[in-house]
Chain A
Amino acid sequence: EAGVTQFPSHSVIEKGQTVTLRCDPISGHDNLYWYRRVMGKEIKFLLHFVKESKQDESGMPNNRFLAERTGGTYSTLKVQPAELEDSGVYFCASSPPGLAGYEQYFGPGTRLTVT
């Protein structure tokens, strides 16, 4: 079974540019989460999809961040325009539907550097 995959693994962009991160969850996992770890601090929740719907987007920092999940499969997280403080590692995780979703399976992360 393939795990959670994320693309790209690294991205270096200039302030003001746009970047799109992609996450492919484990097949059959309805739940998809985005998290971010900035400057060695805590991993912070960004948002949670259940299939294609946003269940909780309380962690999205501002309207420069846009997340989508097409057809309930893969998800993209777009940052436009990027700011210096957006640098960090962006993790995606997925979990099965319902009460079986105890464990979240994490992807390797995308390291974003904004210069």
Chain B
Amino acid sequence: AQTVTQSQPEMSVQEAETVTLSCTYDTSESDYYLFWYKQPPSRQMILVIRQEAYKQQNATENRFSVNFQKAAKSFSLKISDSQLGDAAMYFCAYRSPSPYGNKLVFGAGTILRVKS
């Protein structure tokens, strides 16, 4: 069974600075998907960024980018130019490939605090 580990329960960052959230996972599959989801306080969880394992290029979405190290089974999220609106719980998630949809396996989450 796949597992996802987020070793940082909480992180803090100064507004406009850069922060990196860590995620490692364990799997025997060669093809899979990885995701970072964000859940702001009292709001719905939304997708921040996703990475297909077969792609060597790291995914980027505006100020959000990942460092995907397949051999090391590491998938960290970098947030550049942090904003107050980035404060949230961040979840790393793993999904096996399937044309019929498939469950997400989540890490425990990292609370990100942004200081003004």
Contact = CB atoms under 8 A, between A and B. Distances in A.
Contacts of B109: 42-43
A41 B33 contact: no
Given A106-B46, A107-B44, A50 B100 contact: yes
Nearest to A91: B45
A48 interface: yes
Contact of A45 (B91, B100, B103): B103
Interface string B46-72: 110010000000000000000000000
Interface in B54-107: 91, 95, 99-107
Contacts of A108: 43-44
B19 interface: no
Contacts, number: 58
B104 A45 contact: yes
Interface residues of B, number: 23
Contact of B108 (A31, A42, A103): A42
29 contacts: A31-B101, A33-B104, A35-B106, A42-B106, A42-B107, A43-B104, A43-B106, A43-B109, A44-B106, A48-B101, A50-B101, A55-B100, A55-B101, A56-B103, A59-B103, A91-B45, A95-B101, A97-B101, A98-B99, A98-B100, A99-B99, A101-B101, A102-B33, A102-B95, A104-B47, A104-B104, A106-B37, A106-B44, A109-B44
